[in-house]
Chain A
């Protein structure tokens, strides 16, 4: 650009072997701040309760230098719950960001992909049905596993139904909405015909709660979430041009279907994961990405410097959604 009258600020890049990054201090700073906020809220969540523990003691205990009472309360009783909130929050936030990117629609949220509805329908059926089949399923595999299977199965169904020489965002979302509507109708019908006491139990499941999570559940959730999050981090870059639509994305070298398939699959898995761990802790999904996009580093910053490639909000959405969930969890605690 030398020799022209136009002066452009060039964003410096960082190259490490084969990988290169753009140096964006604002984005990095906000992400670090949010990570700090997540840690703080996490500690608060562990400290607040019937047996209050001060912030310094909480931090000391987490790093293994606390008193024995604190250690019991924190590590055995409260930590699983707080960690479950963190994992589920991250999974939901990232799912929301990916769903909105793939669908190119700011109203899309992971529950339109049918996972929430499928898991809900299965669990409401198991809770309200009095027949032998339902009791057998609940007895042998347990309600959470059956709900997870229902959620994943429905998500897979949506994906297969939307497949037509590739996946297109609007088609995926519209078919997801249709399947979700069917699942919601099934839930409604089951609730209308059920005994009122079962309705209350089913309703409580549908709301979603982090109460009384165990370490087993948390570690299972973590082992599901970590590989998927790694995959998302890897796929986030090729996902970017999809904002421009499939043709442009293909022209920029990102196979639209290729970019979509893992994204949607990951969405599905994350949604199912949450369905299992947290029941249907509904609709925190859309909050994350929008909050993230509203941050100075997100969409607004992008508009200001007119960079051609919008960035996937996952970078900011992740810690922020974690924080959001932690906050909502604290308020519930």
Chain B
């Protein structure tokens, strides 16, 4: 902050302020928090590689990951499980968790609304609608086939929402954006249901799609999704300083030199790409973004430059942990990660809310 000298009678001296003693400490704490979350992420990833219908020890996981293919029969069995099943779903859980967590925090910042979730911009509804539509039109049966249609649907919904929100008197206000998103989402959900009720194949696919799972997707899908999410993260991080200022109100932000329309547009594009790519690969995972955004805000305070990365890491840890838990609780079956996120996360979140840990966005 620059303190200006001599402009005001009341405070007319130059103040060369030393950094506040608390600032360095809190920064150290924030960095330590990132380290802790990273450690948690590694632990959760290790668990995710080891736990499942066929439990593996960490040594077996290690062999499976790095063992040479010309070893004995048993080693190649580990390798098969780890490389074709466990690694893809672990990577997808991390990538999607980061995307949904960061997206959830960013949408709360952009709309200045503490109950905004990544589905708010119609992304989930657009993806579901696209899935149902292509099943009815082209008779696709394999989830891998409709991943890209889902992504297209999510993107199209995001574009429509943003276009609607840019029209009329309330153009560009956070509230208009949120309401346009909600309207489009409800409309698309109604269309999705109407279609799925007339076509049993799409209803059948829709119920599994809606559960939200990180399993069963290969690297042919995961790598492109990761590229999109990485691009979305770059956009999201670039817009964070502006989001901080936008939360002071549009007038203040404009006075401080923020290009409001540009930063909002970049933010909305980032959220659409993040949530759209994650939803396309996993199906809709509700509640994760909202929950980790609040927990991250409690840990970091209102500075979005810390809040969004924290939320991303937390999202990855929570989604991984929920996926692992889903493999254990209903052996030999599995609970989809999206169901576990709500069943396990929501009560925990409600307790934190009750204890008064959270403030509004």
Report A's interface with B, CB cutoff 8 A.
105-108, 112, 161-162, 164, 170-171, 173-175, 177-179, 181-182, 184-186, 188-189, 191-192, 196, 199-200, 203-204, 207, 282-283, 286, 290
B84 within 8 A of A: no
Could you say which residues of chain A place their CB within 8 Å of the CB of B336? 188-189, 192
B339 touches A161 (CB 8 A): no
Cα A191 to Cα B197 with chains together (Å) = 14
Could you say which residues of chain A place their CB within 8 Å of the CB of B109? none
| Shortest CB distance A70–B (Å) | 32
Could you say which residues of chain B place their CB within 8 Å of the CB of A107? 111, 113, 115-116, 120, 178-179, 182
Residue contacts A-B, CB under 8 angstroms, 30 given? A105-B113, A105-B114, A106-B113, A107-B111, A107-B116, A107-B182, A112-B115, A161-B350, A170-B360, A174-B115, A175-B353, A175-B354, A178-B346, A178-B353, A181-B287, A181-B345, A181-B346, A182-B342, A184-B342, A188-B336, A188-B338, A189-B335, A189-B339, A191-B210, A192-B208, A196-B204, A199-B203, A199-B204, A203-B197, A207-B197
Could you say which residues of chain A place their CB within 8 Å of the CB of B342? 181-182, 184-185
Could you say which residues of chain A place their CB within 8 Å of the CB of B347? 178, 182
Cβ-closest chain B residue relative to A290: B179
B196 touches A203 (CB 8 A): yes
B193 touches A286 (CB 8 A): no
B116 touches A177 (CB 8 A): no
Contacting residue for A177 out of B115, B179, B208, CB 8 A: B115
Could you say which residues of chain A place their CB within 8 Å of the CB of B360? 170
> Assuming the A-B contacts A107-B178, A112-B115, A170-B360, are A185 and B339 also in contact, with contact meaning beta carbons closer than 8 angstroms in the complex?
yes
Could you say which residues of chain A place their CB within 8 Å of the CB of B356? 164, 171
Q: Give the top 5 A-B pairs by smallest Cβ distance, nearest first.
A: A185-B342, A178-B346, A178-B350, A181-B342, A181-B287
Report B's interface with A, CB cutoff 8 A.
111, 113-116, 120, 175, 178-179, 182, 186, 193, 196-197, 200, 203-204, 207-208, 210-211, 286-287, 290, 294, 335-336, 338-343, 345-347, 349-350, 353-354, 356, 358, 360
Could you say which residues of chain B place their CB within 8 Å of the CB of A186? 343
Cα A297 to Cα B89 with chains together (Å) = 54
Cα A196 to Cα B338 with chains together (Å) = 21
Cβ-closest chain B residue relative to A282: B186
A170 touches B114 (CB 8 A): yes
| Shortest CB distance B279–A (Å) | 15
Could you say which residues of chain A place their CB within 8 Å of the CB of B179? 106-107, 286, 290
Cα A283 to Cα B193 with chains together (Å) = 14
Could you say which residues of chain B place their CB within 8 Å of the CB of A179? 346, 350
A196 touches B193 (CB 8 A): no
Cβ-closest chain B residue relative to A104: B360
Cα A177 to Cα B208 with chains together (Å) = 22
B207 touches A177 (CB 8 A): no
Cα A174 to Cα B352 with chains together (Å) = 10
Cα A100 to Cα B204 with chains together (Å) = 36
Contacting residue for B343 out of A170, A185, A199, CB 8 A: A185
| Shortest CB distance A63–B (Å) | 36
B349 touches A286 (CB 8 A): no
Cα A290 to Cα B175 with chains together (Å) = 11
- Given contacts A105-B115, A178-B287, 5 further A-B pairs with CB under 8 A are A107-B120, A107-B182, A175-B350, A186-B343, A199-B204
> Assuming the A-B contacts A107-B115, A199-B204, are A177 and B197 also in contact, with contact meaning beta carbons closer than 8 angstroms in the complex?
no
Cα A192 to Cα B338 with chains together (Å) = 12
Cα A105 to Cα B211 with chains together (Å) = 28
Cα A316 to Cα B342 with chains together (Å) = 36
Cα A170 to Cα B108 with chains together (Å) = 14
A188 touches B182 (CB 8 A): no
Cβ-closest chain B residue relative to A180: B346
B349 touches A178 (CB 8 A): yes
Cβ-closest chain B residue relative to A300: B169
| Shortest CB distance B324–A (Å) | 17
Cα A181 to Cα B346 with chains together (Å) = 7
